[in-house]
């Protein structure tokens, strides 16, 4: 293959890759300014919330725990079982529509301000790196320099702190699934006492460390699917981090060209994904607004108005009228309000005791010695409540039928799933069509709490 064929065209490759497909390491320069300060506060708040949640208790239960092994989700003192998967679907739809709404309104607000990848990378790991190795130029020089004892110490210290912070982030992540008590036990006991848990922890730590120490912005530019479809969610009225081309061009040294951009490259040097916002909106832009702060500092220095790079819409940059309240935004907003209200209504009316009817395999019915038909049904009972319930059943819809339950009422302990075998006995004459619909009603402490439709089957006459 000839050399030109081996190279990748600039427009078809990510900003972090050279013509030969090799990774270009990004060295974002530190920046301070209006947006960076606010992002910093939002990020620290989110980090504290993330670290605290697994430790918090509500009504004697973890505030949030997604216990996959025991197939229980605990949220705000309520236990959700696999039967409640509909609420999870609800939450996922809500998350999707919020993402659509905020993207249509203000582009990649999530990526720049709240995504864990950005929050941890930019405000924890990158800070540690800058603190130990110095800002952009020093980091570049250190990486180019030959291995000396000083370089070794700096690199080793950085990776030791990275490992420590990755362990905190990774073990907290694990605590959301298995609880802080288990994580503490696994952390303090010898690996030989719980090999599987130890390997899970080590793999989890490895993934976080690999991501924050090496993979970094590649996660956003290569792996994350959101970047790929976000352009379908925005339009010319969406607020995005944008370069004012009309005001900035032609770029060049101050006093020599008419445009305001002095082509200093500060916006590119601070960019965590290594792009030049002056080339227009790009897939790699995570909307972090660092380039806005960097350019504002430059504009102050050269005594020109700020906001050459700013949050703005394409329509306004092209001198068209623009509005935030477009049909798609309004539709998403209405959908969000309806879904959030529906979700809270559904959760607050969630039945705590439920059952479903399973017909036992094999014969649908048997004929008893007295000539009656007997249907054997298996019931799967769930008590999602945190207290026991006195359970009994009644049958409606077929007066001649007799419901046979081993013990009635019986105690269904809190937080349990039980299987119960019941029989419906009925004279053959009552089943003229060979089947008859009935309703099985479940009573908890004499209150009807659930019901299920069923059929009593018998021989055709
Ligand atoms: S920071 Fe501003 S002035 Fe400097 S290159 Fe970027 S857009 Fe131009
Ligand atoms: S172009 Fe600006 S907003 Fe986009 S990722 Fe780079 S620094 Fe952040």
The confidence score (pLDDT) of residue 418 equals 92
Classify residue 277: in a domain, yes or no.
no
Ligand nearest to the CA of 28: 2
Atom number in ligand 2 closest to CA 309: 2
Of 225, 260, 292, the residue that ends a domain is 225
What percent of the chain has a predicted confidence (pLDDT) above 70? 97
Distance CA 273, CA 408 (A): 67
Task: Indicate whether 110 belongs to any domain.
Answer: no
Q: Residue 5 has what pLDDT?
A: 45
Q: Which of 191, 225, 259 is the last residue of a domain?
A: 225
Domain membership flag for residue 183: yes
Q: Which residue has the tokens 């935004």?
A: 329
What pLDDT does 368 receive? Answer: 94
Structural domain includes residue 320: no
How remote is the CA of residue 365 from the centroid of ligand 2, in Å? 70
Looking at the predicted structure, is the pLDDT value of residue 412 above 70?
A: yes
Spatial contact of 287 and 240, defined as CB atoms under 8 Å apart: yes
- Segment 54-76, tens digit of pLDDT: 999 988 889 999 988 888 899 98
- Entry pTM: 0.85
Number of domains within the chain: 2
User: Which pLDDT does position 4 carry in this prediction?
Assistant: 44
CB atoms within 10 A of CB 318: 11
421 pLDDT band, cuts 50/70/90, is very high
Residues written for the chain: 461
Please give the pLDDT value at position 12.
59
214 and 68 both lie in a single domain: yes
* Residue 24, CB-side half-sphere exposure with 13 Å CA sphere: 17
What is the per-residue pLDDT across 124-148, written as a single tens digit (0 to 9) for each? 999 999 999 999 999 999 999 999 9
Structural domain span for residue 430: 353-457
The residues near 150 (Cβ < 8 Å, ≥ 6 apart) are none
The C-alpha atoms of residue 455 and residue 435 are separated, in whole angstroms, by 6
Spell out the alpha helix ranges (H) of 15-108. Answer: 34-52, 85-106
Q: What is the mean pLDDT of residues 209-236?
A: 90
What CATH code is carried by the domain that includes residue 389?
2.60.40.10
- In this predicted structure, what is the pLDDT of residue 13? 67
* Averaged pLDDT for residues 250-255: 90
Indicate if 42 and 188 belong to the same structural domain: yes
Q: Is the distance from the beta carbon of residue 294 to the nearest atom of ligand 1 less than 6 Å?
A: yes
* Interval 288-306 mean pLDDT: 97
- pLDDT digits 0-9 by tens, 332-353: 999 999 999 999 999 988 888 9
Among protein residues, the one with the nearest Cα to ligand 2's atom 6 is 271
Cβ burial of 247 (10 Å; 0-12, 13-18, 19+) is middle
What's the 273 CA to ligand 2 centre distance in angstroms? 7
Residue 162 domain-assigned?
yes
Domain assignment present for 1:
no
Highest mean pLDDT among 110-114, 280-284, 324-328: 110-114
Where are the alpha helices (H) located in 147-287, listed in sequence order?
Answer: 149-178, 180-188, 195-210, 218, 226-233, 245-248, 266-269
Residue 407 resides in a domain: yes
Domain end point (choices 225, 249, 275): 225
pLDDT digits 0-9 by tens, 148-203? 999 999 999 999 999 999 999 999 999 999 999 999 999 999 999 989 999 999 99
User: From CA 94, how far away is CA 88, in angstroms rounded?
Assistant: 10
Q: Is residue 269 part of a domain?
A: no
Q: What is the pLDDT of residue 9?
A: 52
Residue nearest to atom 7 of ligand 1 (CA): 261
Q: Whose CA is nearest to atom 2 of ligand 1?
A: 295
Average pLDDT, the chain: 92
At 431, the pLDDT band (50, 70, 90 cuts) reads confident
Phi and psi of 226, rounded to 5°?
-60, -40
For the stretch 13-47, pLDDT in tens is 667 878 888 889 999 999 999 999 999 999 999 99
């Amino acid at each position: 293959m000839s050399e030109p064929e081996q190279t990748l065209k600039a427009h078809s490759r990510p900003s972090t890759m050279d013509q030969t497909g090799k990774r270009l390491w990004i060295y974002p320069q530190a920046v301070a300014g209006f947006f960076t300060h606010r992002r910093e506060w939002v990020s620290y708040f989110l980090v504290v919330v993330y670290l605290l949640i697994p430790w918090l208790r509500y009504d004697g239960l973890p505030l949030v725990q997604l216990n996959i092994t025991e197939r229980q989700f605990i949220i705000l003192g309520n236990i959700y079982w696999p039967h409640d998967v509909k609420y999870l679907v609800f939450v996922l739809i809500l998350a999707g529509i919020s993402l659509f709404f905020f993207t249509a309104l203000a582009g990649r607000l999530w990526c720049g301000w709240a995504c864990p990848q950005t929050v941890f990378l930019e405000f924890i790991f990158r800070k540690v790196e800058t603190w130990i190795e110095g800002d952009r130029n020093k980091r570049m020089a250190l990486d180019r320099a030959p291995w000396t004892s000083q370089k070794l110490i700096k690199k080793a210290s950085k990776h030791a702190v990275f490992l420590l912070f990755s362990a905190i982030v990774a073990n907290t992540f694990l605590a959301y699934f298995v609880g802080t008590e288990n994580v503490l036990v696994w952390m303090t006991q010898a690996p030989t006492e719980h090999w599987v848990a130890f390997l899970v922890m080590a793999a989890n730590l490895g993934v976080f460390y690999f991501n924050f120490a090496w993979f970094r912005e590649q996660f956003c530019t290569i792996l994350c699917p959101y970047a790929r479809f976000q352009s379908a969610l925005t339009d010319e009225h969406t607020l995005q981090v944008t370069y004012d081309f009309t005001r900035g061009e032609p770029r060049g040294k101050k006093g020599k060209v008419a445009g305001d951009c002095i082509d200093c490259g500060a916006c590119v040097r601070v960019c965590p994904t290594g792009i030049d916002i002056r080339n227009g909106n790009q897939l790699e832009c995570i909307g972090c607004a660092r380039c806005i702060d960097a350019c504002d500092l430059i504009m102050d220095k050269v005594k020109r108005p700020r906001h050459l790079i700013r949050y703005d819409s394409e329509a306004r940059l092209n001198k068209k009228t623009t509005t935030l309240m477009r049909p798609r935004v309004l539709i998403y907003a209405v959908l969000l309000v309806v879904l959030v209200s529906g979700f809270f209504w559904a959760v607050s009316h969630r039945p705590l005791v439920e059952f479903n009817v399973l017909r036992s395999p094999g014969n649908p019915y048997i004929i008893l010695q007295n000539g009656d038909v007997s249907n054997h049904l298996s019931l799967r009972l769930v008590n999602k409540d945190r207290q026991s319930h006195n359970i009994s059943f009644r049958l409606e819809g077929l007066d001649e039928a007799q419901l046979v339950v081993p013990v009635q009422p019986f105690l269904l302990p809190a937080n349990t799933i039980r299987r119960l075998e019941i029989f419906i006995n009925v004279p053959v004459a009552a089943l003229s069509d060979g089947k008859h619909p009935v309703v099985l009603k479940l009573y908890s402490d004499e209150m009807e709490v659930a019901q299920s439709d069923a059929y009593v089957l018998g021989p055709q006459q």
